[in-house]
Structure 1
Amino acid sequence: MRLVFAGTPEPAVVALEKLINSNHEVVAVLTQPDARRGRGRSLHPSAVAELAEKHGIEVLKPTSLKADTEDGQAVRTRLAELEPDCLPVVAYGQLITKDLLDVAPHGWVNLHFSLLPAWRGAAPVQASIREGDEVTGATTFRIDEGLDTGVILSTLEEQILSTDTADDLLTRLAYSGGDLLVSTMDGLEAGTITPHPQEGEATYASKISTEDARIDWTKPAEVIDRHIRAHTPGPGAWTTLVDARLKLGPITHPGEVSQVPPGQIVAEKNSVLVGTGTTAVALNFIQPPGKKMMNAADWARGVHLETEATFQ
């Protein structure tokens, strides 16, 4: 099939690479415009754009897909010329307007990193870890006018490990999901896929803000553990000490220890314990403002903590 791939960040690169190496032809990609990043705040193309350019694939970077914009009109004209059979989508980042949904015979097929209708929305991987799900997965579905509500084409399951960060889980799903997207394209071309509506109660995973990643030390230890892993590496789980905001890496459970008030820090020679709503947890890594992530015990020795110092 002739494909126009729509995607932007690093997780989408894996799927694009797999499609490029498949029996299908990727004739162009749609991606977000170049963005400023790095110390110099210079413009850089998206990860998807970089891979497409490496393979000599045409890159379209509209600022909007809306029909009443110049970029939107240009995209419509170019898609009509390209005549794609399908538009696979992975984390593109722009709303597909209603009039574009029928631009290709097989429509727009999204790869979503959950078992829909569970965790519709922007942050399904983070939500599945945060809420303590044991199993998640990936779904390919045909995009319609709703939020991740379209008919399901294919799914796969993925076990969530007790040590998984969002990055760990997303990496595994990017690879297995990329294979799922290729097999979905194969099935659509062969006519062997029977779409079926989503069944069950929907849950939602909205975009995560920095404030969402703040740690509430009054919660049980296992909830805090999941919270930190769900927000690692981005935006990064954080807490404050006096006026300083500190990011924390994944924690460990040292076993039964004496009760420590929520947020209170107990610095020992080679460990740093923090109280929670249940048992204390051990910090492994901490990132002070303006510095890199460092060993928590080294940090504690360097800051000369006051008696009963407490994270807020």
Structure 2
Amino acid sequence: MTFSLQSIKTITLPALVAGLLVGAPAFAQDNYPSKPITIIVPYAPGGTTDLIARAMADSLSRQLKQTVVIENKSGAAGSMGANEMVNTKPDGYRLALSPVGIFRQPYLQQTRYDPIKDLTYIAAFAEYDFTISVAADSPIKSVKELVEYARKNPGEIDYGTPGRFTGNHVVMTELGTAVSAKFTHIPYKGDSENVGALMGGHIKTSVVSNSVIPFVQSGKVRILATAAETRPAAFAQYPTLKELGYPVVIRSPLGLAGPKGLPDNIVSTLEKAVKVAMDDPAVIKVLKDYGIRTDYMDAAQYTEFAQKTFEEERSIVERMKQES
């Protein structure tokens, strides 16, 4: 029996197409999500970031009609989620919270991940702010006074942070560079210890994030300025360093990322869901309770931010190391 070339094509082409469809990965399908999603939170349970993540997960669950589970993996300076993404299948069922520190960590130690090559940035939704604060009874009344004293007395202005190479540390490193003044860094184990040292008179100033709010409300701490681009709602009565004439803006967005190769349809689905969640009253309440502001970046904007920030962190870390 013989076959013409045309008959062979007729027989084999449908089989070939069927074979390709059978072999196609499940994550290329349009029915995402069809099972529970896990979000890795790179911090311990009960903290501010964890509570924000859980509120966001609840909102995403309602929108996507699937359970969104939080898995806490603390350590490695908040980069455990990014580490996890390296070997994660890009099907959208295992994601990670992505704090800004993941762009700094590769310059400090060897990491499993490359923040540009190994992650897909989905959306950012919240932002922490940093304050330069003093004790309520401090004779320092402004950033100008702080800078002038530091210039005249190099190294005598010490400042506390919740640790070396944190965003808090970056703030004063960049301010010192901008004004040609030397400050002395005193790292603590966390914001609680840092603020305690400030109120106890052990240090002259501190860089504290949104956790400073209760101490300001109780009259124990005064804020001199924030390192935000514009005045955040939670700190509306305080100037930014930028508006005071100091070119220091330190951003600390919180976002959602997945492994490299995450398909566009999955990114789009999650990106839109995050956007909707930012209008969820439950999410808004948690953010407001802790003085955290919403700050949305879609996938394209967040990816651009990641690339720009990772490049900038190289020189920032070099300056921080020289200071220390």
Q: Which band: TM-score by shorter chain?
A: under 0.3
Structure richer in strand, relative to its length: 1
Structure 1-normalised TM-score?
0.28
TM-score, length basis structure 2:
0.27
Higher helix share: 2
